[in-house]
Amino acid sequence: MAVQPPPAGRRIVIENAAIATVDAHDTEYARGHVVVLGNRIESVGDGPAPPWPEDTVARRIDAEGHLLTPGLVNTHHHFYQWITRGLAQNDILFDWLVALYPTWARIDDRLVHAAAQGSAAALLKSGCTTAADHHYVFPRDGGDILGAEIEAVRELGLRFTASRGSMDRGKKDGGLPPDDAVEDLDTILTASEEAVDRHHDPSPDSMLRIVLAPCSPFSVSTRLMRESAELARRKGVRLHTHGSETAEEAEFCEELFGMGPTDYFASVGWLGEDVWMAHCVHLDDSDIAKFAETGTGVAHCPSSNARLAAGTARVPDLLAAGVPVGLGVDGTASNESGELGTELRNALLINRLHGSPRALTARQALRLGTMGGARVLGRQDEIGSIEAGKLADLALWKVDGLMHSSIADPVAALVLGALPPLAVLLVNGNTVVEQGRLTTVPEERIARACARAAKELAERAN
């Protein structure tokens, strides 16, 4: 079912909500309103909405007992992994990758379409309105994998940053992936440019942007890193990769390049305001300073880092230095829940484990998941906060039920409590979740397709 915006000139009026705007002043309203006109926020403020004539209002929502926040922004994911969840349960990253690469090398566009819908559905149902996916596995006979992923997400109505990722360093060249899971450099660069030309929409209202995303230092050649950066800047798109995820990665870089990951990235043109890295767990003070000086962003993935025993990223230090930091789910083969909403709580708890109860506050966690992510994706002027003129990406959480009614602070209810029921999720002014259910594609259909795809992929790998 196609997502349709409200009729021109007609509004969605949300009233009586607790509102956390996550604007520059962290403005909050105990009982406020937001008015949406088309795909943008028309007004936000305290008390009732302006008395618009009923013939200009498409829908009124009495949000008594609810918290309204910006839609959450996911800065790192691997959608295709939805159909390989629950495998390699007790491995660190390198062993986990070695176990799963042979299976991933057998995906195709049909299986990826199913997996992408599963991943995107889980994100939407957990309050996420914008997601960046890092896809880097393109088997030779896999068909149009990127196109299949983009179509799957479009059907659900999620705002999407899609990566044309890549790997060209297989085992024979000293890399980690098997040789049949990588592509040659010329194929990658040609496909990357074609992906930008075919799909990238740079407009402020864009529902689809493309980034170039070589996978990691241990699966990509130095030439591909350098030439991808040159291509991305020539085409005006952003850059993304994995960085400093594990101690083993740092050792790999020292052995292969004679320097740590951050210095290696600097040497190939991969630090800058148009770049963000996933994980960044193993950064020292010098690394953090270089990220801050260059404006390089970080996708913090607390649950995946814990699942793979990678360590704890220094998020408080990154924030104190002024580094852009957002939240990421990471692939659902290393974060089986696939939810972004639960990462708010996990980010707060994991960053307090070193002994400081103020290492991360509930409102800082919410900012990581909203404006922080928007900044990492270069979309802070369009999404990430509830302000007049911004895109209408909004999450309305029910916080007066059994699990939350005794928490007086609604932001604490969202971040510290169980993930609240999602009453309404708007993306670009369109209702894509209503009372916890998708409004676009039947959830049961997605579940059946994903189960079939997971079974088929497992059979191919055996």
Rounded to whole angstroms, the Cα distance separating 137 from 182 reads 7
- Indicate the domain borders of the chain: 11-70+386-438, 72-376
CB 34 within 8 A of CB 17: yes
pLDDT score, position 426: 98
The predicted structure's pLDDT at residue 1: 40
* Cα separations in angstroms, 446 against 237, 403, 427, 443: 31, 28, 20, 5
Structurally, at CATH architecture level, domain 72-376 sits in Alpha-Beta Barrel (3.20)
Cα gap 274→359, rounded to integer Å: 28
Helix, strand, or coil (residue 105): coil
Of all helices (H) and strands (E), which one includes residue 456? helix 443-461
Q: Distance between CA atoms of 344 and 22, rounded to whole angstroms? A: 14
- What are phi and psi for residue 188, nearest 5 degrees? -65, -50
- Fold category of 11-70+386-438 in CATH: Urease, subunit C; domain 1 (2.30.40)
Beta bridge partners of 240: 276
**225-244: buried (b, 16+ CB within 10 Å) or exposed (e) per residue?**
bebbbebbeebebbbbbbbb
For residue 176, the model assigns a pLDDT of 86
Q: What is the pTM for the complete model shown?
A: 0.97
pLDDT tens digits, the chain, 462 residues: what are they?
Answer: 445 555 556 899 999 999 999 999 999 999 999 999 999 999 999 999 999 898 999 999 999 999 999 999 999 999 999 999 999 999 999 999 999 999 999 999 999 999 999 999 999 999 999 999 999 999 999 999 999 999 999 999 999 999 999 999 999 998 889 898 899 999 999 999 999 999 999 999 999 999 999 999 989 999 999 999 999 999 999 999 999 999 988 998 999 999 999 999 999 999 999 999 999 999 999 999 999 999 999 999 999 999 999 999 999 999 999 999 999 999 999 999 999 999 999 999 999 998 899 999 999 999 999 999 999 999 999 999 999 999 999 999 999 999 999 999 999 999 999 999 999 999 999 999 999 999 999 999 999 999 999 999 999 998
With contact defined as beta carbons under 8 Å apart, do 160 and 190 qualify?
A: no
Other C-beta atoms closer than 10 Å to the C-beta of 14 total 25
Positive or negative: CA dihedral 378, 384, 387, 388: positive
- The size of the chain, in residues, is 462
Query: DSSP assignment, residue 391?
Result: B
